[in-house]
């Protein structure tokens, strides 16, 4: 009788652990966000980026703009722009009059968390759970935590923040293995913009004399 009870408790525990790895409520929210994103002609947003080092208390912030369409994106930061047209990535840097662009194949950064892949990262290699809800500027924000299934994953933990009513992703946090936290928060979002394909391709004629480093 005692063995039967212990076996039942063990099976119950295993069942609870399996359920907690793939939270159905979290999946429903993430599926809604991903479905809405895929239906958009394009998205443009201004955001604030912050990096914090838990170990030494250092923190630095900067603002930027992002435009996304499917797997393409155009990211603008102070002294830096990144163009990704789905096949090629151009990283343009301008500082002190010096201009440089580094060119890579988009497939070379498949393991990185990009402005477009953040909408679908949960679909492969991650467990997820809904941590809760909170009010922010009159909106209900849902917080979802993703944890990597494998220790070799480039990001062990990611948090996503979703506007419950609009099904919009409002920000995310990436935790590295050195105690650092990368935080992205959208300040304004336009989900009704039709972006030309050329907007995601670097045109050197618009930037004057630029040193080109082609790593393809």
**Residue at 10 is within a domain:** no
Reported pTM: 0.79
**Residue at 80 is within a domain:** yes
Average pLDDT, the chain: 86
**Residue at 143 is within a domain:** yes
Q: Which domain holds residue 37?
A: 23-214
For residue 4, what pLDDT is reported?
Answer: 55
Average pLDDT value for residue range 186-195: 89
Is residue 31 helix, strand or coil?
helix
**Residue at 46 is within a domain:** yes
| CATH (domain of 74) | 2.50.20.10
Look at 24 and 180; give whichever has higher pLDDT: 24
**Residue at 8 is within a domain:** no
**Residue at 47 is within a domain:** yes
For residue 99, what pLDDT is reported?
Answer: 94
- Structurally, how many domains does the chain consist of? 1
**Residue at 163 is within a domain:** yes
For residue 28, what pLDDT is reported?
Answer: 95
- Residue found under tokens 């789905």: 86
* pLDDT tens sequence across 3-61: 555 555 544 444 444 444 789 999 999 999 999 998 888 899 999 988 888 777 778 88
**Residue at 87 is within a domain:** yes
118: nearest Cα among 78, 158, 153: 158
For residue 156, what pLDDT is reported?
Answer: 84
């Amino acid at each position: 009788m005692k063995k039967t009870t212990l076996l039942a408790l063990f099976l119950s525990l295993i069942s609870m652990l399996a359920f907690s790895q793939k939270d159905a409520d979290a999946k429903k929210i993430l599926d809604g966000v991903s479905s809405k994103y895929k239906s958009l002609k394009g998205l443009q947003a201004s955001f604030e980026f912050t990096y914090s080092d838990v170990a030494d208390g250092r923190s630095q912030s900067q603002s930027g703009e992002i435009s996304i369409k499917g797997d393409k994106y155009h990211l603008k930061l102070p002294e830096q722009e990144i163009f990704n047209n789905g096949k090629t990535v151009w990283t343009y840097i301008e500082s002190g009059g010096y201009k440089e662009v580094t060119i890579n194949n988009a497939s070379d950064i498949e393991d990185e968390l990009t402005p477009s892949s953040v909408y679908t990262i949960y679909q492969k290699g991650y467990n997820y759970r809904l941590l809760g809800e909170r009010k922010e500027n009159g909106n209900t924000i849902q917080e979802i935590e993703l944890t990597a299934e494998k220790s070799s994953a480039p990001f062990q933990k990611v948090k996503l923040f979703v506007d419950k009513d609009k099904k919009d992703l409002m920000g995310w946090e990436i935790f590295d293995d050195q105690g650092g936290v990368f935080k992205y928060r959208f300040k304004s979002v336009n989900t009704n913009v039709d972006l030309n394909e050329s907007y995601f391709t670097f045109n050197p004629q618009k930037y004057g004399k630029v040193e080109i480093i082609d790593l393809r």
